[in-house]
Structure 1
Amino acid sequence: MSMLELLPEVWQKEWDKQSYGEPTLIQSTLYPLLLENESVLGISPTGSGKTVAYLLPLLQKVIQGNGNQLLIILPSQELASQVADVTRVWAKGLELNVQAIIGGANVKRQIERLKKRPEVLVGTPGRVLELIKLKKIKAHLIQTLVLDEVDDLLSDADFNSTKGIIKSVQADTQVVATSATGEQILPRMDTLFRTALRVIDVTEEDNTKGSIQHGFIMTPVRKRSEVLRRLAHVEGFKGLVFFNQVSELGAVSERLNYLGIKHQTLASDQHQVERKRAIHDFETGQVPLLLTTDLGARGLDFSDLEYVIQYDLAQTVPDYIHRAGRVGRMGKIGTVISLVNDGEKRELNKLYKEVGKTGIEYFATHGKLLTEKPDSRSDEEEIETLKPVKEEKVKATVVKEETVRDKQETPKKKKKKNRTKKQKNKGAKWK
């Protein structure tokens, strides 16, 4: 019997509504294993449906009204919010309650909602551990712990919080971890878990990967804001732009504001409301560019995203894989473009070699993205035409033109001498 036939009828309707088609390999493989309470590390390419792969079997095991049973941990607020929304869609059919436990949100409200004993919790490690220590989350009651994007959760930033959560649950708690970057995280995982996780890696057999083109645009750092401006003028362009440093992201954002280019920013130092607005504006197509860092966009899924732009080169191969994984999801097409100078081009070639890819050179000009170098003279004309002019300069020019015009149209008047009374009578004195 196929996986779809085993789903509740209400889920079969939802599956059709989502236009999912046939289950992906990671979904059909994990489904029976997770139903049987196996602890698993599931590895598959980004965009292959790992979230639904663990949600469907695990939600089916949750008992309505029995309090906290399923705890899902994610490395960022945005990803946790996104997964919480997906979880609610499937939990609704089973009348299960889902609560997001996310850092940056009002902790008192979260504590109040926990009193209603939601069956499913989705959150970030820092806030979840905080509420476990306050005994507001009953960790000993958790039946299944999910570590989504586990390689990030075990990075230096989240390691201690994740370790604390793992130690707080019972020894026989089912543990499910997901990753897109392979078994390189296993040595660190083995030091945390009481029993070894079964590794399910379907990367080689997976067929959900879309067609991803890799390429580059040769440009010095000082001209990269100009390249982003040109890309934003390409019709229908929607690009996720990656930076290595938040400070550089902020400087480029200011430059784009000066150039009059609509965009949003997604960074770790922003308030949760600002970050949520940025994601919404980008997802709905209100802005063509979303500037972010690896931390800001790790694991996020944007519909109809065709372009990833590397303003800064990824510092590691896994980082490049995650960046590239934002496009080409579930069989769609996508393009990863790196902005590089001569020195960085050599580094990029090393990255291409390690991931088994080759890159082609792109040129952005006149509202188009080309693979052939345009005429240099027409390129310069475009820069001059679209060059921004400060508002103050425009006003000054208008005032100056009006003044000249007034002088031309108004006849000259005889200048009246401004003399004192003594000066006026000076001639009479000598008569």
Structure 2
Amino acid sequence: MSDSFDKLGLSRETLGALRQARFTRPTPIQEQAIPPALAGKDVIGCAATGTGKTAAYVLPLVERFAGRKGTLGLVLAPTRELVLQIAEPVRFFAEPRGLTHAVVIGGEDMGAQVKALKERPTFVLATPGRLVDLLENEAAAFPHLEALVLDEADRMLDMGFLPQLERIFTALPRRKQTLLFSATLGPEVSRFARQRLYKPVRVEVTRSGTPAERAEQRLYFVRAEEKTPLLLTLLARDDKTTLVFTRAKERVEKVHKALQKAGYRAALLHADRTQNQRRQAMDGFRDGTYRVLVATDIAARGLDVEDVGHVINYDLPHAPEDYVHRIGRTARAAASGVASTFAMTREGQVVTRIEGIMRAEIPRLSVPREDPVFKEQWELFLAAQRNPGPPQKDHGQAKRSADHAPGRHARTHKKRDS
């Protein structure tokens, strides 16, 4: 691996910006993807979440478009949050070179976006759905586009965006550079790439489906009613920032209420949250206002947090590939963390498929049913079953023990330098 960016063909201006951003050495995906991208070649990049892939396409495109006018680059991403996240490095590296950008996402004023596109920004950063709306209204056009980036292509296809992507391709010049990045390269992504990319350079810094190596994985086989007691037990054992994944928005609400009742500062993310609520939850999770964030896979897409210490899969994901996305969030940059997964016995086949994708077995741990927190929560559950009304248990004792549990409340922590 190269120990500096100097050997990648980048300009003096970009190298200076990298030093200013405190990027000391390229990540594997940057080292391998930047040279072919600079040369104008199509690239397929497979890398786990948090490995620096945004800079792997932003830097070469900034180099190629510096000093030129018109809309030359289009970046597509599956969620509003990810588009906004991409905008940050684009702004940092592109604006000093005189390059502009526009953000085109749902949930924001379309009129303002139409106005921004009329200014012919160098880069358009968009979600597929909103961009198609603008294309249908003849409010967007890309006659001189030279590069298309598909970020998290697997997620866009999983979310059903194939028709929108096909529509977008019909509006773009046939001759263009296409850069496709994905955490996994399943059959659907591979088929799409074969149809849409021309002699791509394939850059796979981790085997497709390989989780971040620094994540310590744990698997607990539980009964459904044991999930919440186990969740609260794991939270009481440390003070790590924790991201909890559930399958559906109703489950998000249920788990969030249980956490609040236990005294934890927790936020939630699901599809029905407003854009303002989503931003408030994510900002609070990043700055330590909330120790725990409960989310569905789609709602958490694009969430960029440097030091998630613990990812807990309260429910197994719908698609085995999503497991890789989830646990990748606990080993970004130089961080390491824990990924705990709850599975019921009948879900053994799902676990087998996940392990098949990763080519490794997830270590099994016993459910800590003798832990005081687990026993307390289990007693509360049994009391609720016996009495549909409020349990008659002495909550004063539960609250006192909760107050002494480590990491119970929000903590203040410094962000790592990126």
- The TM-score normalised by the length of structure 2 is 0.81
What's the CA shift for 1:246? 1.8
The 8 Å contact of residues 299 and 322 in structure 1, kept in 2 or not, is answered as no
What's the CA shift for 1:57? 0.4
**In the aligned structure 1, how far is the partner of 2:213 from the partner of 2:23?**
15
Equivalent position to 1:99, from 95, 98, 102: 102
**In the aligned structure 2, how far is the partner of 1:76 from the partner of 1:212?**
25
Deviates more, 1:9-18 or 1:243-252: 9-18
One-letter amino acid matched to 2:194: D
Deviation sequence 1:342-363 (CA, Å, 0-9, x none) = 3335643553354133334557
**In the aligned structure 1, how far is the partner of 2:65 from the partner of 2:34?**
15
One-letter amino acid matched to 2:347: E
1:227-376 matched pairs, under 5 angstroms: 227-344=230-347, 347-361=350-364, 373=368, 375=370
Aligned match of 2:63: 60
Alpha carbons of structure 1 residues 215 and 112: separation in structure 2 relative to 1, 3 Å: same
One-letter amino acid matched to 2:214: S
Aligned match of 2:190: 186
**In the aligned structure 2, how far is the partner of 1:194 from the partner of 1:51?**
19
Aligned match of 1:4: 6
The 8 Å contact of residues 241 and 309 in structure 2, kept in 1 or not, is answered as yes
**In the aligned structure 1, how far is the partner of 2:316 from the partner of 2:241?**
19
The 8 Å contact of residues 311 and 326 in structure 2, kept in 1 or not, is answered as yes
Equivalent position to 1:29, from 21, 28, 32: 32
Deviates more, 1:71-80 or 1:343-352: 343-352
Aligned match of 1:224: 227
The 8 Å contact of residues 67 and 119 in structure 1, kept in 2 or not, is answered as yes
One-letter amino acid matched to 2:193: M
One-letter amino acid matched to 1:4: D
**In the aligned structure 1, how far is the partner of 2:118 from the partner of 2:309?**
43
**Unmatched segments (≥5 aa) in structure 2:** 397-418
Alpha carbons of structure 1 residues 376 and 210: separation in structure 2 relative to 1, 3 Å: closer
What's the CA shift for 1:251? 2.7
**In the aligned structure 1, how far is the partner of 2:361 from the partner of 2:197?**
42
The 8 Å contact of residues 68 and 138 in structure 1, kept in 2 or not, is answered as no
The 8 Å contact of residues 68 and 137 in structure 1, kept in 2 or not, is answered as no
Number of residue pairs matched by the alignment = 384
The 8 Å contact of residues 210 and 329 in structure 1, kept in 2 or not, is answered as no
Deviates more, 1:235-244 or 1:12-21: 12-21
What's the CA shift for 1:69? 1.3
Identity score, percent: 25
Equivalent position to 2:78, from 65, 75, 78: 75
The 8 Å contact of residues 232 and 288 in structure 1, kept in 2 or not, is answered as no
Classify the secondary structure of the residue corresponding to 1:301: coil
The 8 Å contact of residues 305 and 326 in structure 1, kept in 2 or not, is answered as yes
**Alignment pair present for 1:380 and 2:383:** no
What's the CA shift for 1:200? 2.6
Deviation sequence 1:143-192 (CA, Å, 0-9, x none) = 1111101122233521111111111100111111111212532113334x
Alpha carbons of structure 1 residues 286 and 51: separation in structure 2 relative to 1, 3 Å: same
Query: What's the RMSD between the two structures over aligned residues?
Result: 3.3
Aligned match of 2:120: 117
Classify the secondary structure of the residue corresponding to 1:136: coil
**Alignment pair present for 1:133 and 2:128:** no
**In the aligned structure 2, how far is the partner of 1:35 from the partner of 1:97?**
19
Aligned match of 2:179: 176
Classify the secondary structure of the residue corresponding to 1:140: coil
**Alignment pair present for 1:149 and 2:152:** yes
Deviates more, 1:118-127 or 1:333-342: 333-342
**In the aligned structure 2, how far is the partner of 1:8 from the partner of 1:255?**
53
Which contiguous aligned blocks of 4+ residues in structure 1 show a shift greater than 4 angstroms?
207-210, 361-364, 373-379, 381-385
**In the aligned structure 2, how far is the partner of 1:347 from the partner of 1:36?**
42
Alpha carbons of structure 1 residues 255 and 101: separation in structure 2 relative to 1, 3 Å: same
Deviates more, 1:219-228 or 1:266-275: 219-228
Alpha carbons of structure 1 residues 118 and 359: separation in structure 2 relative to 1, 3 Å: same
Alpha carbons of structure 1 residues 305 and 146: separation in structure 2 relative to 1, 3 Å: same
**In the aligned structure 2, how far is the partner of 1:377 from the partner of 1:264?**
26
Deviation sequence 1:282-323 (CA, Å, 0-9, x none) = 111111111111212234321111211111112333111111
The 8 Å contact of residues 74 and 149 in structure 1, kept in 2 or not, is answered as yes
- The TM-score normalised by the length of structure 1 is 0.79
Deviation sequence 1:257-298 (CA, Å, 0-9, x none) = 344432111112221111111111111111111111121223
1:83-94 matched pairs, under 5 angstroms: 83-94=86-97
Bigger radius of gyration, 1 or 2? 1
What's the CA shift for 1:122? 0.8
**In the aligned structure 2, how far is the partner of 1:46 from the partner of 1:306?**
15
The 8 Å contact of residues 242 and 312 in structure 1, kept in 2 or not, is answered as yes
Aligned match of 2:203: 200
Alpha carbons of structure 1 residues 288 and 345: separation in structure 2 relative to 1, 3 Å: farther
Classify the secondary structure of the residue corresponding to 1:175: strand
**Unmatched segments (≥5 aa) in structure 1:** 365-372, 398-431
